[in-house]
Amino acid sequence: MKVNLSDDFKTKYRNLLGKRAEDLFEAIQQDSQEAFRLNPLKPDYQNVSYSLDKPIEYSNIGYFGDIDGNSIDHLSGYVYSQEPSAMYVTEILDPKENDKILDLCAAPGSKTTYVASKMASQGLLVSNEINDKRAKVLSSNIERMGISNTVVTNNSPKDFEKKFGDFFDKILVDAPCSGEGMFRKDPESVKYWSLDYVEQCANRQRHILDSAYKLLNAGGSLVYSTCTFSPEENEENISWLLDKYPDMHLVDVKKYHGMEDGHPEWDNGNPELKKALRMFPDQFNGEGHFMCRLVKDGEPKTIKERAINDGLKKEDRQFFNKFAKANLNGLSDVNWLRISDFLYQAASLDNRFKGLHILRNGLKLGEFKKNRFEPDIAWILALKPSELKTVYHFDEPQFKKYLHGESVILEDRPNFNKWIGLSYQNKLFSWGRFSNAQIKNVYPKGLRR
């Protein structure tokens, strides 16, 4: 599809890039570059049906190539489709296992699921999205990838200021932007672009950055990224932040082939802006991005959790323990949390979250119903086959039948417990409810194919 660039856009980048602008305009007319990531939270995570012959240089789990959203690798959370430029943001953030990290603009979840995959289910990741519809998509992607250490929230950055103060070790602001770098991937977005829209985005981004600064612990890192070329949303915003908060400074980030320095000449000439990086599709094998890492001076404060009650009743524990004893090979000691009738393996029991709109606190294990506990699909997507007493491995016809919403009859009439894990190509993807030689379908209707 031809990308219809406006005259204002062309004039702006001819002024900034000179003759090179024509190369950029031509690159925007080319096909976007497809890529995907593996999920190291899964057992034997490299065992996928997609070629791993074209690795991405700056990511040890990223590869060039396209994936099928209906494949078992995708449905079971072994792979995640992500544009290759965007993968580098997480590498710059450099998550560690015990970090407290805030992804302030997290939907649809590409970067936040990458961050979680590097935290090995440790520490705390708060993934926030202000738009409620996009927040639900974010939550579902976190569920599919089997992530347990994440609280998904649907709030404004200002809401966090009131609750947390300078709480977080690392903050990612992948800011909503004018989207110039994604024009060829999403040609429809060109229709929304204007010089005024760029200014609106830049103003909104400054509000977000201001909140991020206040939420960052001393010694912590703030990674700012956009998928736009616009200096107003990039170099100018970083200069604004540095001027307003002298205790923030840019640090160098490694630049691979095709990545460029930031452009001080597009703002106030501050040479520090060269420490940022840019990706233009005429030079780099990916879409357009801007990224930088800032550090807040000072010694980090020790932040203590303000614990809340888990809300569990005595009978809740009995019902859950009965289920676990019948179906699991042991059970780890974790933070349990009851919300309404649902049981979670909580990512946090900190009362700072009280009053926020929370879509998911950690791993949703299941639901308490009359005199019993029933497991949720989120839990099976986070379990390993070795943790279950019974796993039934589907062949292809059985898998397609179950995925379609049908039950599966077993001719050999095995002696299974009521709840079993279901696997295809050695990848867990759902629970099954077994009764009278039949695996009854409990696959969520919204996921059926």
Q: How far apart are CA 365 and CA 376, in angstroms?
A: 5
Q: Is 174 marked as a binding-site residue?
A: yes
d(CA 86, CA 66): 15
Does the annotation list 105 as a binding residue? Answer: yes
227 is catalytic: yes
Q: Please tell me which residue in 177, 201, 227, 292 is annotated as part of the active site.
A: 227
What is the C-alpha to C-alpha distance for residues 398 and 285, in angstroms, rounded to an integer? Answer: 40
Helix (H, G, I), strand (E, B) or coil at 55: strand
DSSP β-ladder status, 419-424 and 391-394: parallel
| Furthest C-alpha separation in the chain | 75
C-alpha Rg value of the chain to the nearest Å: 24
Distance CA 254, CA 238 (A): 18
User: Is 111 assigned a ligand-binding role in the annotation?
Assistant: yes
- Identify whether the C-beta of residue 5 lies closer than 8 Å to the C-beta of residue 57: no
Q: Nearest 10 degrees: CA dihedral of 304, 309, 310, 316? A: 160
| 195 and 241 Cβ atoms separated by less than 8 Å | no
* Torsion angle, alpha carbons of 441, 443, 445, 449, to 10: -100
Strand runs (DSSP E) across 176-264, as ranges?
A: 216-226, 248-251, 259-261
117 is in an annotated binding site: no
* Rounded distance between C-alpha atoms, residue 127 and residue 111, angstroms: 10
What is the phi/psi pair of residue 223, to 5°? -105, 125
Residue 248 CB neighbours (<10 A): 18
CA distance 140 to 138: 6
Q: Is 109 annotated as a binding residue?
A: yes
The binding site consists of 105-111, 129, 174
List, by residue number, the catalytic residues: 227
The binding site for S-adenosyl-L-methionine consists of 105-111, 129, 174
